[in-house]
Amino acid sequence: KAGVTQTPRYLIKTRGQQVTLSCSPISGHRSVSWYQQTPGQGLQFLFEYFSETQRNKGNFPGRFSGRQFSNSRSEMNVSTLELGDSALYLCASSGTLQETQYFGPGTRLLVL
Amino acid sequence: GESVGLHLPTLSVQEGDNSIINCAYSNSASDYFIWYKQESGKGPQFIIDIRSNMDKRQGQRVTVLLNKTVKHLSLQIAATQPGDSAVYFCAGTSMEYGNKLVFGAGTILRVKS
């Protein structure tokens, strides 16, 4: 079974731009969660989608949004990028509630 | 210039020794815990999990202990190998938060050959 895949792996943007990151979960998994990892804040929860519905949301500004498609693939979008948005963005998938979450390799975003 | 960020504790062990990595959690409602290993440039890799109705769970070379009274979790790695060198994170969640994982800051494990 293929693992969680994320595209692109690396991205460089400038302040004010927007970015869309993609995540394909493990086949059969319906829950997709997104996390931001930075040296200063560690791993922080962004949001979780299950069956195309946002089920939970972390404490991030409205510039961070996401969605999930009928095939469980998920995208997250960050608008009006700020320097502080530079981070590793990780996606994790699981079958359902409180099952093991498996992470993808992440997308490393650098905002200049 | 000065570096600002989380200061991760480091555990240095000799190859072949046992390692114990500790984690404290604050939410007494947390009922599901996972240990992850993260190598440089990679996403967190699942190691082992435990639910709050258990005190101990064993895997291959790893054991997780849960002490709900003092809200403490530990990961024991037997016969530590150089390939075990990584950052280790504990994470927890509770039914009220669904799949939202709250992560600890992490511990750097360095294995000396």
**One-letter-per-residue 3-state SS of B81-108:** CHHHCEEEEEEEECHHHCCCCEECCCEE
Phi, psi dihedral angles at A33 (to 5 degrees): -120, 150
A53 touches B at CB < 8 Å: no
User: Strand pairing of B107-112 and B10-14?
Assistant: parallel
Query: Cis peptide leading into A8, omega within 30 of 0?
Result: yes
For the segment B53-104, what is each residue's pLDDT rounded down to a tens digit? 999 999 999 999 999 999 999 999 999 999 999 999 999 998 877 789 999 9
Are B98 and A58 inside 8 Å of each other by CB?
A: no
The SS3 assignment for A76 reads strand
B98 touches A at CB < 8 Å: yes
CA nearest A91: which of B101, B56, B26, B2? B101
Percent of chain A with pLDDT over 90: 92
For the segment A1-54, what is each residue's pLDDT rounded down to a tens digit? 689 999 999 999 999 999 999 999 999 999 999 999 999 899 999 999 999 999
B49 touches A at CB < 8 Å: yes
Instruction: Note which residues in 61-90 of chain B have CB less than 8 A from chain A.
Output: 89
pLDDT for B4 equals 54
Instruction: Note which residues in 9-48 of chain A have CB less than 8 A from chain B.
Output: 31, 33, 35, 38-45, 48
List the A64-68 sheet strands across, edge first.
Answer: A5-7, A19-24, A74-78, A64-68
Residues of B in Cβ contact (< 8 Å) with A94: 99
